[in-house]
Structure 1
């Protein structure tokens, strides 16, 4: 008898993804500049300079970009992420990476652009790691609300 291998489509774990985006939201609030269009915050992390800029504010969302302004290595491309914060749901997710099209929830593999099956999750996990690194060892003034402003 021969065994037939049936390949199932990739199905993302929605609770795992939402938890990641909720944590990204909380971390992003700490490094965000003031929520007004064009506001910027500079961050230095491991001798590499980044700028977080508010691109747009609406009632329930804020769009920000994270750009690398100094090159860390000629072999690695500079970082550029577009992130949307959804204030009503309290989640933040990457919507564009390096000026590419919107990131799909999942991709068939293999594909012409060589995206991973879980590309959206991986990019948001990278954002989580980057935000955590900024909070732990980045050089920037952060938005800390100590005792609800009653210092």
Structure 2
């Protein structure tokens, strides 16, 4: 079986970025500043959005699952919002310190060929879930 090389669907990826930007802005403060934290509870899980960096054209947000009594490492990702383009993209997730547009497969980190697209679609699904079912809470731990 011959495998076709993976090609990034740029139009689809940009659509995901644009919708993620709108959804994420609905969960963040209207005028974010560094170290602002928002916490949401959805389906008995707590999620924190922490503003890491604010510049004139971008905002960097760390999104993590938080739990007071967690024994295991919890999922974390960094998302950069580009305000001039009105898009948000996952730029870091778990073991990937920089998410590339595509990966050769197999690879040492076992990233999928379309890892970036999958992470950004997951972010969109998660944001939709939080907007529909999330309840704002006081942050558990900051830092």
Q: Does 1:87 align with 2:83?
A: yes
Whole-angstrom distance in 2 between the partners of 1:108 and 1:94: 19
Q: Shift of residue 7 of structure 1?
A: 3.7
Q: Which residue of the other structure, out of 95, 118, 130, is the alignment partner of 2:126?
A: 130
Q: Shift of residue 113 of structure 1?
A: 1.5
Q: Could you list the per-position Cα deviations for residues 37-79 of structure 1 after superposition, in whole angstroms to 9, with x for gaps in the alignment?
A: 11111110111111111101001100000111118987x7512
Bigger radius of gyration: 1
Contact 1:48 1:72 in 2 (8 A): no
What residue number does 1:45 align with? Answer: 42
Structure number with greater CO (CA < 8 Å, separation at least 6) is 2
* Larger strand share, 1 or 2: 2
Q: Which runs of 5+ in 1 are unaligned?
A: 142-151
Whole-angstrom distance in 2 between the partners of 1:6 and 1:44: 45
Q: 1:99 to 1:116 in 2, by over 3 A?
A: closer
Q: Secondary structure at the match of 1:140?
A: strand
State the TM-score, normalized to the length of structure 1: 0.83
Task: After the TM superposition, list the runs of 4 or more consecutive aligned residues in structure 1 that deviate by more than 2 angstroms.
Answer: 5-8, 71-74
State the TM-score, normalized to the length of structure 2: 0.87
Q: Could you list the per-position Cα deviations for residues 121-143 of structure 1 after superposition, in whole angstroms to 9, with x for gaps in the alignment?
A: 000001001100000000028xx
What residue number does 1:68 align with? Answer: 65
Count of residues in correspondence between the two structures: 136
Q: 1:50 to 1:84 in 2, by over 3 A?
A: same
Q: Which runs of 5+ in 2 are unaligned?
A: 138-143
Q: Does 1:102 align with 2:106?
A: no
